[in-house]
Structure 1
């Protein structure tokens, strides 16, 4: 990517998404364009979503479709902008933006395999490193003397050498040793008092009161929390009352409940047009009250296009 290309990409995202791209996504794109990137196939990694615009910043969507939904899966929160696919079950990574202006790390989850959103990686290449070491773990559990395993380990080592020359070079651990130190699935959850528990597992950055008195992010028993929230959504009249109360609080100057309930309903819409509509009303109201207009725009665009059969919308 030359400086002219970079300027065009930055302008495109500022104009259409309202987001200032982090330096880390440019390092990821530059790495993907390097000779070492041929080995990313070992990890089933494919640049996707907004990464397509790094190669063609002028690419337009198909007629009638908002470009902001390119790469956006059904359950992706507005804060999530897909940049990479990796493996099966809809595993994908996205830049995460709490304010709709700047990006504060990387999120990932499996669209087709349950589980919540994980937000431990600070940069795209750190996310790549985590995927690499998970593959290393799988090979460590296999027959280490098998010629195919030996060859794959060698290719992973070469990819790791190239990657650590750009980022994560201060992490000499590999495989299980790496995961035990850095992978959140091996570590106790880190409570984040600045975030409020949400059904999607990512937490919401917001101050204010919530109807459930929700605990900080990672302090709830997510199984119990999810069971309770899903049960409350089954009563249509009670849900309508929850939505109206959240909107009333938002109009009175406290958008916290509108944001977290909107995020929960977005995650749990399950194709239900009533839940989809509730989620959109809540999210757009909350984001506007929080001065996050770009996220309100993304939420509205996603709502209009949630029934798309493909996340690829570029012509």
Structure 2
């Protein structure tokens, strides 16, 4: 997937250069491994992916053609970007109902620390337990296998689906997660639904993904995965509905950022972005705080993505490339 032809970059080199230029990101080896895995699947493997109700989208459209451009007036960085996606989230996989989608997670603004996923049209926060795209697909596969185990109908179609998924698992584990011998419910219990450990390098955010920052929080937030999510969400949404309290929090975040600590601006910006719910004032405040914080933290790519997303948050579709399919 690499090389040059006619003076221009082709294959992998062209993809890497496109993302360095437009996103300011270094794509991880795991996404290229995932792309090669998809290309290696035969008809049964592709049908198994359909059984899982997943499909490559977002940035993988540019893997197929790195030269694709967005429609006039639209920033390419919003391609595949759902309304609540934080700037750190870069979509590569659509996962089924209720807007489930997966993205690479770039919380330092340059390198990928893992895979994130959430339901854009439903409740719940962002799950960051998967470390690679193939690990994320393995989790989806085993959830489907678990459901097949619970299916009381053992007809030809169920048997055919089980066979296809088994072949897909064999192909996937030959590349990654092969040491995980559990399947179905046992796999989900061991790797997919286990309570994630507290992460001292990140601070609690309303979206559930945590933010990479080393400064202090005005609210004394615990480390990522260390908060009572219900109590924290109740407090934050209550504060957002109180104009005076929100104003005080905004002033404090701005003051701290001006004094050299952008942590509170980052945290409050992420929270307001997640909780915008179509409110233009929250959208504008989130963008102000995020752009300021990312620039102060030396994450210009995330600042540019935040600004692009703010300009285009009202788009009715997440596909913006000239020749792309419509994907709500």
Q: Shared topology, TM-score over 0.5? A: yes
TM-score normalised by structure 2 residue count: 0.93
Superposition deviation, residue 2 in structure 1: 5.1
Could you tell me which of 54, 71, 93 is aligned with 2:80?
Answer: 71
Q: Tell me how large the CA RMSD over aligned residues is.
A: 1.1
| Residue-pair matches, total | 313
> Aligned pair 1:221/2:220, yes or no?
no
Name the SS of the counterpart of 2:111 in structure 1. coil
Superposition deviation, residue 238 in structure 1: 2.4
Name the SS of the counterpart of 2:98 in structure 1. coil
Within 5 Å, which residues of 2 pair with 1:1-315?
1=1, 3=3, 4-36=10-42, 37-38=45-46, 39-143=48-152, 145-183=154-192, 185=193, 187-315=194-322
Unmatched 5+ stretches in structure 2: 4-9, 323-328
Instruction: Give deviations 1:211-232, integer Å, cap 9, x for gaps.
Output: 2100011111101100110000
Counterpart Cα distance in 2 of 1:35 and 1:207: 43
Superposition deviation, residue 144 in structure 1: 6.1
Counterpart Cα distance in 1 of 2:247 and 2:70: 35
Counterpart Cα distance in 2 of 1:160 and 1:68: 33
Counterpart Cα distance in 2 of 1:300 and 1:87: 28
Counterpart Cα distance in 2 of 1:33 and 1:295: 30
Name the SS of the counterpart of 1:49 in structure 2. coil
Counterpart Cα distance in 1 of 2:51 and 2:123: 24
Contact 1:82 1:94 in 2 (8 A): yes
Contact 2:114 2:131 in 1 (8 A): yes
Instruction: Give deviations 1:13-65, integer Å, cap 9, x for gaps.
Output: 00000001001000111111123441211111110000100001000000000
Contact 2:129 2:196 in 1 (8 A): no
Counterpart Cα distance in 1 of 2:41 and 2:82: 30
Name the SS of the counterpart of 1:202 in structure 2. coil
Superposition deviation, residue 164 in structure 1: 0.9
Instruction: Give deviations 1:112-157, integer Å, cap 9, x for gaps.
Output: 1110000011100110101000100111111263332222111110
Counterpart Cα distance in 2 of 1:71 and 1:32: 19
Superposition deviation, residue 100 in structure 1: 1.4
Segments of 4+ in structure 1 off by > 2 A? 1-4, 144-148
Unmatched 5+ stretches in structure 1: none
